[in-house]
Amino acid sequence: MPFRINLGGEAEVLGVLNQQGRWIVSLSGWRSSQTGQTFEDLVRAGHDFLIADNTALPLPDDVVDEVITNNIPPVDSVTWLGPTVQSSEVRRILKSGGRWILQWHRSVHQAMTAFFDLFVRHSSDPSVRDDPTWADRRFPELVASSPFHLWRPGDPVPERGDRYLIGVATWSGYDMRLLDVIAEALRRNRVDPPAIDVFNTAECRQQQDFDRYISGIGTVLQTPVVGYWNNGHLADSEQAYAALDFLAGVFGFCSAEIVAFVQDWIKAQAHA
- Tell me which residues touch ligand SAM (CB under 6 A): 8-10, 12, 20-21, 33-34, 54, 70-73, 79, 81-84, 172, 174
CB of 68 vs ligand SAM, minimal distance in Å? 8
Alpha carbon distance 265, 103 (integer Å) = 9
Of 70 and 146, nearer to ligand SAM (C-beta) is: 70
Q: Do residues 139 and 170 touch, judged by C-beta distance below 8 A?
A: yes
CB of 182 vs ligand SAM, minimal distance in Å? 17
Of 163 and 181, nearer to ligand SAM (C-beta) is: 181
Of 229 and 240, nearer to ligand SAM (C-beta) is: 240
CB of 79 vs ligand SAM, minimal distance in Å? 3
Directed axis angle between helix 255-271 and helix 114-124, to 10°?
30
Going by C-alpha positions, the residue among 105, 70, 100, 68 that lies closest to residue 272 is 105
Q: Are strands 17-20 and 233-239 parallel, antiparallel or unpaired?
A: unpaired
Alpha carbon distance 15, 256 (integer Å) = 22
- Four-point Cα dihedral 90, 104, 1, 87, nearest 10: 0
CB of 218 vs ligand SAM, minimal distance in Å? 16
Amino acid occupying residue 73: P
Of 39 and 229, nearer to ligand SAM (C-beta) is: 39
Q: Do residues 207 and 15 touch, judged by C-beta distance below 8 A?
A: no
Of 31 and 163, nearer to ligand SAM (C-beta) is: 31
Of 2 and 82, nearer to ligand SAM (C-beta) is: 82
Going by C-alpha positions, the residue among 133, 114, 238 that lies closest to residue 178 is 114
Q: Do residues 207 and 219 touch, judged by C-beta distance below 8 A?
A: yes
Alpha carbon distance 51, 92 (integer Å) = 18
CB of 164 vs ligand SAM, minimal distance in Å? 20
CB of 195 vs ligand SAM, minimal distance in Å? 26
